[in-house]
Structure 1
Amino acid sequence: MSAASSGSAAADEGGDAHAPPATRVPTLNVANFLTLSRLVLVPLFVGALFTGDGTDVFWRSIATALFAVASLTDQVDGWVARKYGLITDFGKIADPIADKALIGAALVGLSILGELGWWVTIVIAVREIGVTLLRFWVIRHGVIPASRGGKAKTLAQIAAIVAYLLPLPEAVEPVRWILMGFALLLTVVTGFDYVLRALRLRAAGRRATQRP
């Protein structure tokens, strides 16, 4: 994901005092544009999902396609940012917010349509909102980048949601339950991991400010 710091590097002691500073990465770049495009696709996805009361096969397929495209940008923007050095602090924050907006819209939509239990949506929503608040709670000490566990959680959620969005026969319902159950497990486990990382980052930041 587009999620690493882009601050300039400090020169080592004894190095060239006249060395040019590191180039700052502009906030407006391709990787961040892809992240923002994911946010733009969210209302389009919601509109398609509820067209025809959510039961129209054509519009349901369109909604699934929009969700899949939006989810794909999550993978592409991170690759572009890393490959071309377009990693920014803005991307660190905007990327997970865009993910949560997309996933949240899909879960709430499915629950409104009566296809997914509200308790599932609430558990995932509480975790995602909590992690976002944690990021802002420690932001003056640093930014918590997306972890591998967090990325696996997102992929599991996407797979489960796609299974629910697709207009498939009832025979595949057990597969949907298994996928969503696995996504829920990763959601809870990685949520606790983010709490620990936030506490460590805040403690490290406080120690640094207390140094003479």
Structure 2
Amino acid sequence: MNLANKITLARIFLVPIIMLFLLVNVKFPHIRIEQFSITYNQIIAALIFIIAAWTDGLDGYIARKRKLVTNLGKLLDPLADKLLVSAVLVSLVEMDKVGAWIVIVIISREFAVTGLRQIALLEGHVIAASKWGKWKTAAQITAIISLLINNFPFAFINFRFDMFASWIAAIITLYSGFDYFIKNKHVINFNE
């Protein structure tokens, strides 16, 4: 197994560790400053999430630079991304930090686009990531980090950046999904 794929696997293995810090009720102390409060386990989960999200770019860079692009990597990389984002978003719903409907929109889009890509592969086409897909990923990561760190530093000015970022992520996620389907409608044969 090459280095890029090992990094991708590491991202998958970080998912349960993040969830452990988010969902297991360990009595870590809180940091409290006026209207802002956060637990140490949330900070640790956020830091691990940031590292995991960063490895997404790193494994792709290494695979391209060293010409290590493999079929296993093509399968594992999007799977790792979807596991990371989905698991953390579901955990945030459990923690009552984000609305379930936003998470349903995001996860549904991921299933739909993955299905479209599978149909395309069966037809001999490869659907590359679009610029909207990359924007979607950036918006989701931004929203998740702001939710994980309890809207820091925006809590001090009473601006709900975490909710704003979640809405933006949901809108860009929907748009990018529609964009994939519109640009690749030729792949789907509705007459079968």
Q: Please classify the TM superposition score into its range, dividing by the shorter chain length.
A: 0.7 to 0.9
Distance apart, 1:83 and its partner CA: 1.2
Identity value in percent = 38
TM-score, normalised to structure 1, is 0.75
What stretches of structure 1 of length at least 5 have no aligned partner?
1-27, 204-212
Q: Select which of 11, 21, 34 maps to 1:38.
A: 11
TM-score, normalised to structure 2, is 0.82
- The letter of the residue matching 1:48 is F
Rounded Cα–Cα distance in structure 2 between residues aligned with 1:54 and 1:190: 40
**How large is the Cα RMSD of the aligned pairs?**
2.1
Q: Select which of 85, 94, 109 maps to 1:112.
A: 94
Partner residue, 1:133: 115
1:181 aligns with 2:167: yes
Deviations 1:127-183 (A, max 9, x none): 011111222222222332222221121011001100000144744552112212221
1:60-139, aligned counterparts within 5 Å? 60-139=42-121
Q: Select which of 154, 176, 194 maps to 2:137.
A: 154
Secondary structure in 1 matching 2:127? coil
Moved over 4 A (4+): 53-56, 169-173
Gap change, CA 1:183 and 1:144, over 3 Å in 2: same
Do the aligned residues in 1 keep the contact of 2:14 with 2:52 (CA within 8 Å)?
yes
Deviations 1:181-210 (A, max 9, x none): 22112101110122134433457xxxxxxx
Distance apart, 1:70 and its partner CA: 0.7
1:190 aligns with 2:176: yes
Distance apart, 1:53 and its partner CA: 6.8
Deviations 1:63-108 (A, max 9, x none): 1111111101101011111111112233223211111111101111
| Number of positions where the alignment pairs a residue of Structure 1 with one of Structure 2 | 176
Gap change, CA 1:188 and 1:147, over 3 Å in 2: same
Q: State which structure, 1 or 2, has the greater radius of gyration over its C-alpha atoms.
A: 1
